[in-house]
Amino acid sequence: MSRVAQPRPQVAPLRKLEPGDAVALVSPASWSDESWLAESVATVESWGFKARLGKHADDRFGYMAGGDRERASDLNDAIRDPEVRAILTLRGGSGSLRLLRDVDTGALRADPKPLVGFSDITALHQVWHQAGVPSVHGAVAGTRADTVRRLLTGGSGEPVRRDNGQYGAYLTTTGTASGPLFGGNLEMLARSVGIVDNDLDGHVLLLELNRTVGLGMVDRALTQLLLSGALAGISGVAVGTLEGFDDYEDRGWNVLDVLRDRLSPLGVPILAGLPLGHLDDPVSVPLGVECELDADAGTLTVAALSA
């Protein structure tokens, strides 16, 4: 498999969406049931956009939404279509990593447009990062779904505030950090080492994970990122949901012990307990644009997605 390793260019300016613009809905990972497809289309149309469902969005191939060729075709069709101004992924699951070498990055650089998704879609966020095109870590779900519309139309989201009642919030340290926000699902970031060479110097790293893996896998993922040098030069860490880990221990340690042990040597501010990631009602934030992390105030403030 060829490496996605070209130097990361300057961040491309994005045009804010206007009423009547087309938004593509594609399934680069797992498939969604018919009710979710219909609800997603209805949501996009309620925002005043034209919803364009990918030709293979409801295909099924095991746990994936069709074969690799079909899923890549839908994604590239959306990238190459000049009328499509944003690409919304219908869900995560599994399969995005398979598409890394197939994305038409030349067309994406020529006509920059944001990608919206999280979890397994983190694999594709890295391609957008390499291409210098901002994207959105989030989804059209829950009462906060309208944040995606606001971001796409040029607005800024409210500062993301630490939820002191969220498991892991007390991992927060002190201090402030700034720089472009980048990251997402921990496992996907680690699995991409050796495939995608991310230049994260001066970036604030966003991490979220859910309990589909044990503590040993969390340790291995973080260690892989550390030993590969992928985290060298990061300015801060924003920790989102640790879904499913709150009542899980392994021989006296929990996931907070692993995170503290692996992240503390970086010597950067850590802000945890953020409502980002695997939640019923997650907050959406732009990736690839400037942010301010204030661990003392418990806020993550991210710049607008487009000018």
Catalogue the active-site residues.
119, 208, 278
CB 127 within 8 A of CB 75: no
Q: Indicate if the alpha-carbon torsion angle 161, 165, 168, 170 is positive or negative.
A: positive
Q: How far apart are CA 252 and CA 74, in angstroms?
A: 46
**Following CA atoms 64, 70, 71, 75 in sequence, which dihedral angle do they give, to the nearest 10 degrees?**
-170
Strand positions, DSSP E, the chain? 22-26, 50-53, 84-89, 115-117, 135-137, 160-161, 176-185, 204-210, 236-243, 270-271, 285-287, 290-294, 299-302
Burial degree of 180 (CB within 10 A; 0-12, 13-18, 19+) = buried
Name 184's bridge partners. 207
Q: How far apart are CA 92 and CA 116, in angstroms?
A: 11
**Sheet bearing 285-287, strands edge to edge:** 50-53, 22-26, 84-89, 115-117, 135-137, 285-287
